[in-house]
Chain A
Amino acid sequence: MLEGILQGLTTALSFYNLLMVVIGCLIGTFIGMLPGLGPMSIIAIMIPVAIQLGNPAAALIMLAGVYYGAIFGGSTSSILINAPGVAGTVATSFDGYPMARQGKAGKALTIAAIASFCGGTVGAVLLFGFAPALSSVAILFWSSEYFALMVLGMTAVAAFAGRDQVLKALLMTIVGVMLATVGESALHNAPRFTLGLMDLQSGIYFVTLVMGLFALPEALFLILRRGKGVVESDKLMKIENLRISKAEAKQMAPVIGRQSIAGFLIGVLPGAGATIASFLGYAMERNIAPAGDRKQFGKGSIKGLAAPETANNAACTGSFVPLLTLGIPGSGTTAILLGALIALNVSPGPGLMTDRPEVFWSVIISMYVGNLVLLMLNLPLIPYIARLLAVPRNYLVPFVLFFALIGSYIGQNNPTELLIMIGLGIVATIFRFTGFPLPPLIIGFILGGMMEDNLGRAIRRSGGIEFLWERPMTLALLILALILLIAPYLLDKLKIRERLMSN
């Protein structure tokens, strides 16, 4: 393991890869700041570039930098204009924006950056311990366990979609798996569901799907909602005095300590990502704060700003644990990263740590470097980067659309791909309008192929579906998936009964 760590350290600290982290963080911050553009779209836009790099370690390091940068950029727009670019930073605006309105925008940004840095760093240290441990357990997994694990991952994402949306999320997951079956599969060489179209022979191109589902609708929503929440340059808060006092640092410290660990653990759970971690972190700190401090929450509290910022970054790091060790993405963003890895011929899973130690460890180490870059490079630059918020939408939207279109085009060099993407964009816009969540669809799509392979292998091995109840670990994972799905309903029923009894 030590050899692997050293190999990862050399890879991560090479000049080229350090440059990739810096570029990734800067691009992520730039685009993540734009309201409406989340990390999924930004990573999707950057995937063709990452694939062209050819080197899986460099590609993943850059994309991880983009991910962190996007979260940091989202915090910046939450604080400065009360318009979070990313769902995970909505809680940041609760206290960040009031602070900025009190003329403490610089201070709020510093607190956010330090909290993010600490959250990310503690997360990276925990990842160091967690990932190898989980990898060694995962080596015992057979294809039947992998199948069950994928079912668990998909149901967890659906279960965390929100109580009113579980059925819709499950349906979207199934649609995603259906789309994954288009074209040739690893087990069967004959193409399926291509409707005679040659362009679908090798399946739906993953970048086209991601762009069509995320980047395109988000840019189109910016047009649809023109006039609503548009930022004028004079509304932009002035950023002065980035320093924080010792007393403020003392106030932040315990919050950061608690939320780094809590955020990381939430991030490790499949389905619960940065958004849930940040809201839970905020709620937890408000509940345990002394009465005087509690009153400050929502009015520019330092604790209220530090809590979600620490938790969301720690959760981002945590979400890499299931991705790197099991090859199971816990969120839409990590699903997109998994797709990028597969495109680069790297299959994440328990074998990654032993087969490609330079990729495994360099990604973990580069996360730490990424946090350092955000703190040392992006924070001083933020007054300048923030000017991007004043760029008129008239310019911004066609450019974002162009990058989405061209990202899909350069991957395949085929204009039909663009038409498929526009079609997917229309469908995705309708889904978003009607409350059908899209992340489960992408997770279904990414995991669909692997799920079929593992299911096929397991059935061939045991000659039927007996493995579902004969292998204890498979059965346990499937039962856990079932519990995740029905637990919210049962808890609801219990609460209603309790309320009726007390009345």
Chain B
Amino acid sequence: MIRPDRIVALLLIAFSIGYGLLAWNYALLPFEEQMPFKPNTMPVGLAIAGIILAVAVLIFPGGHRGLSSDADGWRRFDWISTGAIFLLMVLYALTLRPLGYVLSTTLFLVLGAIVLGERRFTVLIPVAAITAYGTWYLVQQVLGVFLRPWPELLI
């Protein structure tokens, strides 16, 4: 099976080529074409360096394979909870405005802890609610950054 770091190197070759194409096709303004240093001069150079280095990693990936070398470890990792937490983070980002900061944060903290196995709701819910309200108070009242606290419908 192909080593995971080689797959990443392949993806980075694709990324560098894509970046290079965008840089090469960058629409220069007429006066920019005469300049010794154009807006795409360094990006084109970077794309070339990126492709060369990514090909080099593909050919000589080295001995250090990160955690991917621990084949058994992969299976013992808790992928389901991690995936669920990722989904929760996306949901949090999407509900932050419609539900308001306090409600969406409380939900994120409570659901996050439930996913990780917490079942003492009498402790969990108050802790989450106090944290959500407390941080809102700190951010808006002390730091002066506006955060909509309650759902859009209520305001």
Contact = CB atoms under 8 A, between A and B. Distances in A.
A171 B66 contact: no
Question: Helix, strand, loop or mixed for chain B's interface?
Answer: helix
Interface string A370-411: 000000000000000000000011110111011001100110
Contacts, number: 184
Interface in A63-108: none
A488 B39 CA distance: 36
B54 interface: yes
B125 interface: no
Interface in B108-129: 108-109, 112-113, 116-118, 124, 127
Interface in A401-449: 401-402, 405-406, 409-410, 413, 415, 418-419, 422, 426, 430-436
B96 A174 contact: no
A394 B118 contact: yes
Interface in A159-203: 162-168, 170-171, 174-175, 177-178, 181, 185, 187-188, 190, 192-193
Interface string B35-78: 11101111100110110011011001111111111000000111
A170 B49 CA distance: 10
A460 interface: yes
A171 B55 CA distance: 10
Given A181-B46, A192-B26, A168 B62 contact: yes
Interface in B1-38: 4-5, 7-9, 12, 15-16, 19, 22-23, 26, 29, 32, 35-37
Contacts of B66: 432-436
Size band of the interface chain B makes with A:
35 or more
Contacts of A23: none
Given A432-B66, A433-B68, A226 B144 contact: no
B40 to A, nearest CB: 8
A284 interface: no
A165 B135 CA distance: 40
Interface string A444-465: 0000000110011001100110
A185 B29 CA distance: 15
Contact of A190 (B39, B41, B89): B39
Contacts of A181: 42-43, 46
A225 B67 CA distance: 11
A52 B117 contact: no
A292 interface: no
B36 A463 contact: yes
A399 B134 CA distance: 13
Nearest to B131: A399
B53 to A, nearest CB: 4
Contacts of A452: 42
B55 to A, nearest CB: 10
Interface in A205-236: 220, 223-228
Given A164-B64, A192-B39, A395 B118 contact: yes
10 contacts: A168-B61, A171-B53, A174-B16, A177-B46, A223-B82, A226-B78, A398-B108, A406-B139, A410-B143, A410-B147
Please list the 10 inter-chain residue pairs (A to B) with the smallest Cβ-Cβ separation, ordered nearest first: A398-B112, A435-B66, A418-B93, A164-B62, A164-B64, A394-B118, A434-B5, A188-B39, A171-B53, A394-B116
